[in-house]
Amino acid sequence: MRSLRDVDVKGKRVLVRVDFNVPMDKKGAIIDDTRIRASLPTIEYLIDQGARVILMSHLGRPKGKVDDAYRMDNVARQLSLLLKKEVKKCDDCIGDEVQAAVARMQPGDVLMLENVRFHPEEEKNDPEFSAQLASLGDIYVNDAFGTAHRAHASTAGVARYLPCAAGFLLEKEVQMLSKVMNSVESPRLAIVGGAKVSDKMALLENLLNRTDVIIIGGGMANTFLKAQGYDIGKSLCEDGLVDFARELLAEAEEKKVKILLPVDVVVADQFSAEAQSREAKVNEIPSDWMILDIGRETARMYKEAIKSARTIVWNGPMGVYEYEKFARGTEEVAFAIADSGAVSVVGGGDSLATIYRLGLEDKMTHISTGGGATLEFLEGKQLPGVVSCEGYH
């Protein structure tokens, strides 16, 4: 990709797409500013280079209409605190007042535009709206990996009108995700969890060509257990994908990719934090109980595989981690990755929630900010917001 470092930005108007879609409480206070902090290196670099920094982002889902609950004012205030510098805020992202505000900017100034999704043209990738946004800048920088899978006006459309480059966050995301997916250092390990196989079909198929070992956990493992002929009781299962699971296992065997599935599980009499629970072998699951976590023997098996891995990518929990009694499997996997010494990349909100709760974020090589973008990248798809950065193939 064309990096921000490859572009002369001194004195230029630099239009930067950031992902400041931060979680907020009902009063509009920011709960977690991680996404804002993630783009600070790009913003601070531009300030130091004497660029005029114009930031655009979405916030929430206002559905193409102005919604006061999703205004960027609090985001701009938080960014001001982090930068220790005034960040001015516009009440729109296009129009005469915005043009005038940009014209008044001095080198090193930072301006936050209003929520781009207040305009329905944003998500439609409307060419005229894209051109209006592009008219604000001399150079376009995309630093919003979290929205890179969306072909919207602010993520892809503006790139048709301006020279473009990748910000440091976007660049790092692509480099790290590419590193684990294209690694030739064996064993290459992928850990895939979560509720549904249907959410991870393309990912699993892509991983068969890029890894040596695939660990499967969470509700999706139940479909694979059923494909192996086990009675899984009342456990979550996608019956329509049992054949897919069976075919994937056969293909993995043919390609000499080891797929590890639970050999014992934690079962419960209901889906509840107060449920009765116990461990059971996968061939001894009561017909009226359900699987909600991996068992101790499975956790040991998974940890042994993690210990020997050279590269690890993890996406998705091993069980219903939201309930303490069913969180152990996910936590043990997290601790094992932290202690592994492997190049590790973690993505997906559930996996990240566990990492942060356990304070293990500094033990991971890279924590991806992408969500859906991370998953699509790992599936092997080209992302519009990444493709828009000149030189990306």
Active site residue 381: no
Active site residue 35: yes
CB 142 within 8 A of CB 166: yes
Active site residue 5: no
Preceding peptide of 62 cis, ω within 30°:
no
What is the b/e burial string over 169-190, where b = at least 16 CB atoms within 10 angstroms of the residue's CB? bbbbbbebbebbbebeeebbbb
CB 51 within 8 A of CB 10: yes
Identify the active-site residue in 12, 17, 35, 188.
35
Distance CA 335, CA 345 (A): 14
Residues in CB range of 350: below 8 A, 6 or more apart: 193, 194, 316, 317, 321, 330
DSSP β-ladder status, 139-142 and 164-166 = parallel
Question: Distance from CA of residue 345 to its chain's centroid?
Answer: 11
Identify the active-site residue in 196, 303, 363, 381.
196
Q: How far is CA 59 from CA 21, 69, 74, 118, in A?
A: 4, 9, 11, 9
Active site residue 349: yes
Identify the active-site residue in 28, 95, 341, 349.
349
Identify the active-site residue in 50, 64, 372, 380.
372
Half-sphere exposure of 130 (CA within 13 A, CB side): 18
Q: Which residues are catalytic?
A: 35, 196, 349, 372
